[in-house]
Structure 1
Amino acid sequence: MSQESRTMATPLVRGMGSFFKNCRCTRQNRCPHPYALRYRDASGRQREETGYSTQQDAMDRLTSVYHEKRHTPERQAAAQREIGRQRFGPYAASWLTRQRHYTPGSVRTVNQVLKSQILPVLDSRRVNTFTTTVVEDFIMSMEERSVGLAVQQNAFDTLKKILLDAHRRGGISADPFVGVISPEYIPRKIAIPTLDEIHALKEHGSDELRVVIDLMHGCGLRNGEAYAANLERLVANDVYRVTEQIDGRTRRPARLKHRKPGEFRECPLPPTVRESLLGYAQTVEIGANGYLLRGQRSPHWGHSTMQYQWWTARKKAGITRKLNPYSLRHFFASNCLSKGVPITDVAEWMGHSNINMTFKIYRHLMPASVGRAARLLNEGL
């Protein structure tokens, strides 16, 4: 930037940095343009920031940075510099190995997003060079490649988790997501099976498929959680405790999504689902661990078994709508919300990590709250 377009920087105590204005106003102490500042962060890299409305705001920020540098132990500062010098690709790989709460399926999903969307663009960039501009350029690159909004949001969310981890550990001095507008994916209208369609699928499906259908549409379980059907999980006549899932690819038990090892959640167990499980248990030989479902060549069900049996039952039932097994979870949510069950409870029973996701997908299924509230309030008046 030329000297003409910038006022002379005002230096402070040695090592604090300086502040200035990027304008040509003759009386810059009274003009409305914001102050900018320049300083060196803990890693020794020069930084510039802008957007401070007063000199005091700029000085407060420089003082905060200076205080942080002065009170950061040398060993910690060296570790932060080492993180900042890393390339994004290796740092992302090390970050993923530290996510011990991720299930194998979640690890595969993150790896796929990294390989297909993020690493081709950002693999070699040093961690300490990430700024809001870099993040916005990455979003624009996805838009230019006509990447779908759902994929854009997944890639953005993954990148944000990795970079905020680096920011928390001191590898990035400033939050690179301040002011960045994330891609907004609006889920398409979900397909909810009718009760007649569910009965038809159960009628034309195998005994094992009926158990899975009952657990998914009656209790809100995910596919893999239903594969792990177990009589030991009936902890009360009306409560089913979900403690694990069967990984659909490896066909091995795995911890729950969004849960740490050993954690569980409980969901309502309708009498019809309880009778279904107990009735099926009387027709099969239950193993030592209490699992009800077995594959022909493995001790557990998997996605391929589910897909084949679901497609066969749907064809025999004459269902032409594009319903998939996950549609059964949508039926559960719709059934709960239409009966006035609070959406917070629905989110907990379905195992969502964030109620915002539940609200975004199922908000339109909730009864009109304003009109309903007006009628209820009127009764108290």
Structure 2
Amino acid sequence: MTVYDRWHKMVKQPDGTTKKVRSSEYGVGDRWQVRWRDESGSQRKRNFAKKAGQDANTCAEAFDAQITNELNRGTYIDPNAGKITVREYGENWLEAQTFDRSSYELVEIRLRLHVYPILGERELRALRPSLLQAWLRGLQKKLAPNYVRTVFAHLSALLNAAVDDGVIPKNPCHAGSVKPPRAESKKITPWSVEQVKTAAGAVARRYEVMVQAAATLGLRQGEAFGLAVEDIDLAAGVVHVRRQVKMLKDRQMLFAPPKGGKVRDVPLPESLALRLSDHQLAFPPVEITLPWRMLEGPPHSAELIFTTRLHSLINRTEFNRFVWKPTLIKAGIPTTRENGFHMLRHHFASVLLERGVSIKAVADFLGHADPGFTLRTYTHLMPSSEDRMRQVIEDAWATGRCALDVP
């Protein structure tokens, strides 16, 4: 490698000496050119207006030294590779992912609505930490902090892939100056047993046991909709949570494993087992066939315990609007987002923690992959260490006379 002067060339004179003369490119474009061969042996070149200086982006000699060093160390990345735009690379990256279909749609929506409008036409090589921080700042003005963090995580994953592909040398999202907003941790105030009973009594009769099942088994809404006869193991006294109903943005519904693929067994309370038996007598289960996750393999059939009055699959949107919201109104519970069907799952967790069930066990029953997430979400519901300490000491010392109590 070396630096060439495009505007001049050395011409041999009759007397054997050489003389610098103007080339045919004199005055056209940048004067200084760096030429090199990449790792595949292909000839590459790049022109610069300045020969000397410390900035490899503007000075030929500094760039020449940088490329030479990268080739020697095996860290070379084609300077032109990063010319692809964020949108173009992001669309290709997303198509290659193995998300289930509903997750794919969520990521696509977030990129399309919150990344591409500002960064989509930028070349990957042009992304700077300052640009990303300004983008984050703009998102924070209109979106909740936790949602901004989710969008930022998608962009960072996209750029990690670009680094792995050798398109860019490093991920600007990892720069110390790029700081997404702090996560908001809203303390959950779970429903009491009385509130759950009130909601179960206010809902349409065919959904009463479903509300009770969600509250006593910790089911997500889609898992409650997908609960089938074969999932109730009376002999073992457990419920096998192995399926959920998912709705795609085109309103198509399909069966899929529980969130994160966390199939789990939850102990079946005897009282719920009796209610489930009575429910099936009053509302016979219905065999439902749906596509399996991302349309993979043959359709999946299950004899669902909870269905609509038309003996069909429960549609999440319609249920929330025409069943759950009226139920909250009838029960005198505010119709806020916090009081969604998921509140039944929060109730389940709170009851277990209040009665001393370990955080690891609660995480397993909820299907959380990380017990730390369970702890962060529900730690404020656990009895305080101070209260436990006082009670332990009181119990231990109240059993007899203190050894130091000398008359």
Corresponding residue SS for 1:252? strand
The change in CA–CA distance for 1:302 and 1:234 in structure 2 (over 3 A counts) is same
2:286–2:307: 8 Å Cα contact kept in structure 1? no
Question: d(CA) in 1 for partners of 2:119 and 2:391?
Answer: 55
Equivalence for 1:303: 316
1:215 corresponds to:
213
The code of the aligned residue for 1:251 comes to M
The answer for the alignment partner of 2:202 in structure 1 is 204
Match of 1:112 among 109, 132, 151: 109
Q: Secondary structure at the match of 1:335?
A: helix
- When the two structures are aligned, how many residues end up with a matched partner? 316
Equivalence for 2:259: 257
Partner residue in 2 for 1:314: 328
TM-score (norm 2): 0.67
1:1-150 alignment to 2 at 5 Å?
Answer: 66-69=72-75, 82=81, 84-104=82-102, 106-143=103-140, 145-150=141-146
Distance, in Å, in 1 between the alignment partners of 2:307 and 2:266 is 23
1:4-35 deviation line (CA, Å, top 9, x unaligned)? xxxxxxxxxxx9xxxxxxxxxxxxxxxxxxxx
Structure 1 residue matching 2:253: 3-state secondary structure: coil
SS at match of 1:247: strand
Secondary structure (helix, strand or coil) at the match of 1:160 reads helix
- Give the corresponding residue for 1:365: 381
Q: Residues 237, 153 of structure 1: CA spacing in aligned structure 2 closer, same or farther, 3 A cutoff?
A: same
CA 141–317 in structure 1, closer or farther in 2 if over 3 Å, else same:
closer
Alignment CA distance shift 1:171-1:373 (3 Å): farther
Query: What residue in structure 2 maps to residue 24 of structure 1?
Result: none
- Check the 8 A contact 1:102/1:257 in 2, yes or no: no
Distance 1:118 1:198, change over 3 A: same
Q: CA deviation at 1:306?
A: 2.2
Deviations along 1:194-218, one digit per CA (max 9) or x if unpaired, are 2112111212222332232123211
The answer for the alignment partner of 1:164 in structure 2 is 160
Deviation at residue 231 of structure 1 after TM alignment: 1.8
Partner secondary structure for residue 283 of structure 2:
coil
Give how far 1:374 is off: 8.1
Deviations along 1:243-299, one digit per CA (max 9) or x if unpaired, are 12112443332333222xxx6222332223222222212223333432112235573
Q: Offset at 1:233? A: 1.1
CA contact 1:88–1:127 (8 Å) conserved in 2: yes
Does the residue aligned with 1:240 lie in a helix, a strand or coil?
strand
1:344 maps to which of 360, 372, 381: 360
Residue 330 and residue 146 in structure 1: after superposition, are their counterparts in 2 closer, same or farther (change >3 A)?
Answer: same
1:304-337 deviation digits (Å, cap 9, x = unpaired):
3421212222233333474221111111111121
**CA drift at 1:368:** 1.6
Higher relative contact order structure (alpha carbons within 8 Å, sequence separation ≥ 6): 1
Shift of 1:65: 8.2
- Which runs of 5 or more structure 2 residues have no equivalent in the other structure? 1-37, 39-53, 288-301, 398-407
CA RMSD, Structure 1 to Structure 2 (Å): 3.6
Report the equivalent of 2:276.
277
CA contact (8 A) 1:238 1:270 kept: yes
Aligned CA distance change for structure 1 residues 282 and 335 (closer, same or farther; 3 Å): same
Q: TM-score, normalised by structure 1?
A: 0.71
Measure the CA separation in 1 of the matches of 2:164 and 2:129: 16
User: Are the aligned partners of 1:227 and 1:245 in contact in 2 as well (CA < 8 Å)?
Assistant: yes
Distance 1:46 1:87, change over 3 A: farther
Structure with the larger strand share? 2
CA contact (8 A) 2:286 2:311 kept: no
CA distance in 1, matches of 2:201, 2:157: 45
**Contact map agreement 1:88 1:122 (CA 8 A) in 2:** yes
Pair 345,138 (structure 1): closer, same or farther in 2 beyond 3 Å: farther
Does the CA-based 8 Å contact 1:209-1:309 persist in structure 2?
A: no
Over 3 Å counting, the alpha-carbon distance change for 1:377 and 1:313 in structure 2 is same
1:188 to 186, 189, 193: 186
Question: Per-residue displacement from partner, 1:156-212 (whole Å, max 9, x unpaired)?
Answer: 222222222322333332232142433112133324212112111212222332232
Q: Which amino acid aligns with 1:285?
A: P
2:313 counterpart letter in structure 1: H
What are the equivalent positions in structure 2 for 1:241-252 lying under 5 Å apart?
A: 241-248=240-247, 249-252=251-254
Question: Partners in 1 of 2:130 and 2:357 — Cα distance?
Answer: 44
Aligned twin of 2:18: none
Give identity over the alignment, percent: 22
User: 1:110-155: CA deviations, max 9, x gaps?
Assistant: 2332222111111112234444334323222323x34332322222
